[in-house]
Structure formats: C-alpha cells, structure tokens
Amino acid sequence: MLILNCPYCGVDADETELAAGGEAHLKRHGPGSSDDEFHGYLFARKNPRGVHFERWRHAHGCGKWFHAARDTVTLEVFGTYPAQTEGPPKPILAAIEARRPGWTLD
C-alpha cells in the first residue's frame, strides 16, 4: 500500500484516497512547436526502474494536485511537494541523493 503525505492538508493519505496523474514536470509544447515536440509532449513518457517524479491528486480529500518522488521498484517514497513548481525542490533532490548515491536528475 502506497501512503503519500498530501502537502496541502497534511494527511497521510493511502493510495485508495488518491488519483494518479502520471509523470510530473512535463513541458507543454503547444502552438508553434514542431510535430516531434508535440508528439513527445502528448505521448512520450519515462518509465524508469527507480526514481520517478509523479503527479497525484488527493481526490477523496482536499482535492488538490501535488507531486511525489518515489522509487518504482521498491515503492520507497522520497517526499511529496506542492505542484506550483517547474522541477523537484532541493530538499527532495537531497533526500533522493542520500538514499541513492550517484543518482542524477536527467
């Protein structure tokens, strides 16, 4: 059972209270972008074995979207953070680095 702490209401919500929203930090390519960029934005997703940044919604709670950093193999959660950001914040990166020495953000 995956348990994520919602950064908006502070609840330790179990996965049945949440809705998954796929990969986080996608850059939107809209009008004026090339076909390849738009195709990538629409369809290309990372599917890593290991550290992954995801969007989640506290659907049965406060209703807010937030981000989570977790490991797709061990299900270890490195942390959650608010969605008003373009990339993972420093404390989250530090938490991952501490648990996965040598890991780098790509």
Partner 1 sequence: MLEPVSALNGASFDGLARIEETGLQGMITLRGDLSAKAVKSAATAASGVRRVPDQRQANVSGEKGLCWMSPDELLVLCPYGAVAEALEKMQAALAGSHALAVNVSDARAVVRLSGPAAREVLAKLCPVDLAPAAFTPGMFRRTRMAQAPVAFWMDDDESFRIVCFRSVAQYVFDVLKVAAQPGSEVGFHARPEPV
Contact set with partner 1 (CB under 8 A): 8-11, 13-14, 16-17, 60-64
What are the CA-CA distances from residue 103 to residues 74, 90, 93, 98 (Å)?
A: 15, 14, 9, 9
**SS3 helix, strand, coil % of the chain, rounded to 5?**
20, 30, 50
Q: Which is nearer to partner 1, 84 or 104 (CB)?
A: 84
Nearer to partner 1, 17 or 97 (CB): 17
**Nearest residue to 27 (alpha-carbon basis) of 96, 103, 87:** 87
Half-sphere exposure of 86 (CA within 13 A, CB side): 2
Shortest separation between residue 24's beta carbon and partner 1, angstroms: 20
Give the nearest distance from C-beta 78 to partner 1 in angstroms: 22
Name the minimum Å distance from CB 58 to partner 1: 9
Residue 46 vs 60, nearer CB to partner 1? 60
